[in-house]
Each structure stands twice: as C-alpha cells, then as structure tokens.
Amino acid sequence: MLLFLILLAFFGFSSASVVARVGSETIKKDELYEYFNSYWREILHLPIARATKEDVQNFLVELVRSKVIRQEAKKMGISLRDAEVEDYIQKNIGSKNLSPIALYFIETEILVDKIAERLYRGSEITENQVIAYYYLNLRDFKMPAQVRLERFVADSLESANELYYRLSKGIEFWEDIKGVKKGEAIWYSIQALPDVLRAQLSPYEVGKVSKPIYTEAGYVVFRVVGRRNEGILPLEEAKPMVRAKLIREKRQEVLKEWLEKTLRNYRVEFYFSQL
C-alpha cells in the first residue's frame, strides 16, 4: 500500500510535460527520460530498447524518493565529500566516465547509507546473536578455494609497469610512483577469477603479481597475499561478516520505516498518463 499521495491525471493536465510533483518541485517528462536513459545505461547497463512503460513508471517513483531523501539528508546535516564518492565509485562501479546524472544516483545511494547509519548505529547487536546466527546458518559459510588479492590501479601504463617490476621483485616501496592507488585486499573464489588472472597468478603463491591489465578505471595490477582451501569459514573470521549482515538487515528495516513515515510529510503527485 502506498503511504504517500498519488494523483493520477488520466484526462488532461494543464502542464502536459509535468509527470510528478514533490512539494513545490516539479519533474518534467523530458527531465524524467534524461534521468531514466542515463540510469538504465550507466547504472543497470541495459539496452534502452528493452525498457517498458512500467519500468519508466517505477523509475519515476524512485526518482521522487531520491529527491525526498536528498532533502531530508540536507535537513539532517548529512553531506558528502568528493573522496567518499570517488572511493564508492572505485569499489563498486569502476568506471570514472560517468555522467552528472549517474553521479546523482550514486550520491543518493551513499546518502541513503549514511542516513541508515545515523538511524541505527548497530551497537545493539550482541555477541550471542552473532554466534547463534553463525551456527544456525553454517551452510552460508561454506567457502570455495579462495585467494586474497591486493588491487593496485595506475593511471598510466608507464606507472603500472614500474609498479609491476617493483612488486614482482619483492620491493614494497611503491608510494613514489605517480598516479598509483591501492585498494583493500579482498578474498576471491579461485574458480570465479577471470581467465586472464588465473593464467597469470596460478598456482597462487603469496607474492605472485599479475601484469598490468587495462580497464576503464585505469591499469590494474593484482598481487596474491593469501590463499585458503575449500571449507567452512571459521567462526572468528565469520564474526565481522555476520555482524555486518545483521546490522545491514536492521538498518534496512529501520530505513524503510523512516522513509514511509517521512513520505507522509510530503505532498507527492504522479501524472502517469503523461508518460
């Protein structure tokens, strides 16, 4: 059940190009489709020809919600730093060639996370809850053979080659190489690794380094820093994952309740017949 006002204009409308209102703010048809096309291609990576009218309607609802969320974040004193956005893009998107509209949705997603964090800190999750979840869901912690990789990104092939040379020789000092950034070390399923990495890193000995690989984000170099065989992830290693999962689930619950309550304070109108 929708908890905010929806007005459907099926028989004409004086401003035919207006498809929604959020308080005093309007969303016009051309603006909607500009946002929709960018989101569909850059965020979902789907061909626009596959989009249906229902997809556009659902997107319009989400666009309205995004505007409400951004207004509320401002009221709560929640803002974003450029470094936060860049870090999110590097970890979750990869490509830096994003339109302002794609950045709008990425920023909104980060704001949602920060609002959820403000609403629920997570300190209420107890050790007993974490342990109970682990043993009740052991199947979820069955892990394939994995390799832990450090990820470096260089903005030029020259820098990437210099980085590869040093790492492959066991030289740990690389900070003076221009345009190189280091990401967090992450565990990957060996079976799921791209062929190009499997060919270069096998047999996955600690210290093994891949040659530079070109991506939209830059030239990427991986280094093996750990390996483990198939089995059940030990409790102590699983605890941070379990706690994060429980906090994430609770935050989603609290965020949903907050959003439903917040939307009641806004006059929202949709004119789906204008699409």
User: Residue 111 belongs to what domain range?
Assistant: 18-120+250-274
Write out the two tokens for 45. 């990576």
Residues 159 and 112 in one domain: no
DSSP, residue by residue, 243-261: HHHHHHHHHHHHHHHHHHH
Specify the amino acid at residue 59.
Answer: F
pLDDT at 14: 45
Q: Diameter of the chain by CA atoms?
A: 73
Cis before residue 203, ω within 30 degrees of 0? yes
Contact between 23 and 266 (Cβ < 8 Å): yes
Residues 176 and 260 in one domain: no
**CATH code of the domain containing 184:** 3.10.50.40
| Coil, strand or helix at 270 | strand
pLDDT at 43: 81
Write out the two tokens for 236. 């102590």
What's the structural domain count of the chain? 2
Contact between 271 and 9 (Cβ < 8 Å): yes
Q: Is residue 9 part of a domain?
A: no
pLDDT at 29: 93
Residues 110 and 187 in one domain: no
pLDDT at 16: 57
Residue 166: other Cβ atoms inside 10 A:
16
Residues 111 and 26 in one domain: yes
Q: Is residue 239 part of a domain?
A: no
Contact between 134 and 141 (Cβ < 8 Å): yes
Q: Cα separation of 85 and 189, whole Å?
A: 27
Contact between 97 and 216 (Cβ < 8 Å): yes
pLDDT at 41: 85
Q: pTM of the entire structure?
A: 0.61
**CATH code of the domain containing 100:** 1.10.4030.10
Mean pLDDT per 10-residue segment, the chain (275 residues): 42 64 90 91 82 92 94 94 89 79 92 93 87 95 93 93 92 90 90 91 94 90 94 93 93 92 90 88
pLDDT at 89: 86
Tell me the backbone φ, ψ of residue 95, rounded to 5 degrees.
Answer: -75, 135
Residues 177 and 254 in one domain: no
